[in-house]
Amino acid sequence: RVEQVFTDGRMSFEPVEGSEEEFPAEIVMLAMGFTGPEKSPMLEQFGVDLTDRGNVERDDDWSTNVDNVYVCGDMGRGQSLIVWAIAEGRACAAAVDQALTGATQLPAPVTPSAQQLR
């Protein structure tokens, strides 16, 4: 577990001592959203590469440099509109489905390199 703490007026999360548990899992999905320009220590713990803008680097199939770790939405694009996060989430789910089962029938409405119209 973690608890919300405020230090110098800034919110963060701290582990609750003694609350650690391990759960066997084949897949773990984190929905982190955009919490600000500060990077979570979790990114360093995962060992994912970052872009020059500080976003998580991803390939054309939404995967990172770490096996079986995928990224979409704000973590890969940077702070953006919810419609981009939704579209990327759907497309990333299709890529994960393809990786796990060898095929997918899920829609992939955008690619990782898709840009908004200007």
CA dist., res. 76 & res. 58, Å (int): 7
pLDDT tens sequence across 62-118: 999 999 899 999 888 888 888 999 999 999 999 999 999 999 999 999 988 887 666
In sequence order, what are the residues at sequence separation of 6 or more whose Cβ sits closer than 8 angstroms to the Cβ of residue 25? none
Quote the CATH superfamily of domain 34-101: FAD/NAD(P)-binding domain (3.50.50.60)
CA dist., res. 87 & res. 22, Å (int): 32
Which alpha helices (H) appear in the chain, and where do they start and end? 41-46, 74-77, 82-101
CB atoms within 10 A of CB 84: 19
Q: What is the pLDDT of residue 71?
A: 92
pLDDT tens sequence across 18-77: 999 998 988 777 777 665 656 777 788 889 999 988 889 999 999 999 998 999 998 888
* Count of alpha carbons within 13 angstroms of residue 67, beta-carbon side: 2
Q: What is the pLDDT of residue 54?
A: 84
Residues present in the chain in total: 118
Tokens found for residue 8: 């110098």
Break the chain into its structural domains and give their ranges: 34-101
Backbone φ/ψ region at 28: left (φ over 0), alpha (ψ -120 to 50), beta: beta
